[in-house]
Amino acid sequence: MSLLNALVGAALLLFGRKVFWLFVAGAGFVAGMSLTSRVIQGPEWVAVLVGLGIGFLAALLALVLKRFAIGLAGFLVGGYLALQFLTPLFSLDQNWWPWLAFVIGGILGAILVNAVLDWALIGLSSLAGASLITEAFGARHVAGLLVFILLLVIGVAFQARELRKEQRKL
């Protein structure tokens, strides 16, 4: 599972904006898997299966309803990031707190994506990618934070360079 998270993370980190359906699918996969593993204390394959199902549906939706799907991806990534950062920070592992953190983060992510689409996609996909890669390799504490920040900078810089290239062609 760590290898799968690292591969999805690398794809999101470098190509999340350009191939938006991949971003939407990755966001759906990660959010579905993360939420399922926190809510249902079952085998890991159940979380992977739910994540794959949500990711597939999100990608299909992205191809049909692009603007809605991008908002959905913002919601899913915002929710995932809220779970990753707020839950351990405020000990929200009990009852309905993870759901509340997910919904609040999701709403903020959706608003951000719709306000500044390209840069929001770059930022959110880089955040999600860096988080997945850091988590996949088990980097913790200061070293994990430094790796996360380095990956985040690399992802934003790479995608921003690609965006500038596209804008010059127009």
In tens, the pLDDT along 10-56 reads 988 898 888 777 777 877 888 888 888 888 878 888 988 999 999 99
Of 18-32, 79-93, 102-116, the poorest mean pLDDT is in 79-93
Angle between helices 20-39 and 66-90 (to 10 degrees): 40
Distance CA 8, CA 107 (A): 23
Residue 149 has pLDDT above 70, yes or no: yes
Distance CA 10, CA 154 (A): 11
- Ramachandran assignment for 141, one of left (phi > 0), alpha (psi -120 to 50 degrees), beta (any other): left
pTM recorded for the entire structure = 0.63
Range of the domain at 99: 2-169
| CA distance to 61, 90, 97, 102, per residue, from 166 (Å) | 25, 41, 42, 34
The pLDDT of residue 93 is 60
The pLDDT of residue 118 is 85
Distance CA 162, CA 103 (A): 31
Distance CA 36, CA 55 (A): 13
Cβ neighbours of 84 (radius 10 Å)? 20
How many distinct structural domains can be found in the chain? 1
Distance CA 14, CA 158 (A): 6
Cβ neighbours of 5 (radius 10 Å)? 19
Q: Could you identify the residue written with the tokens 């913002």?
A: 74
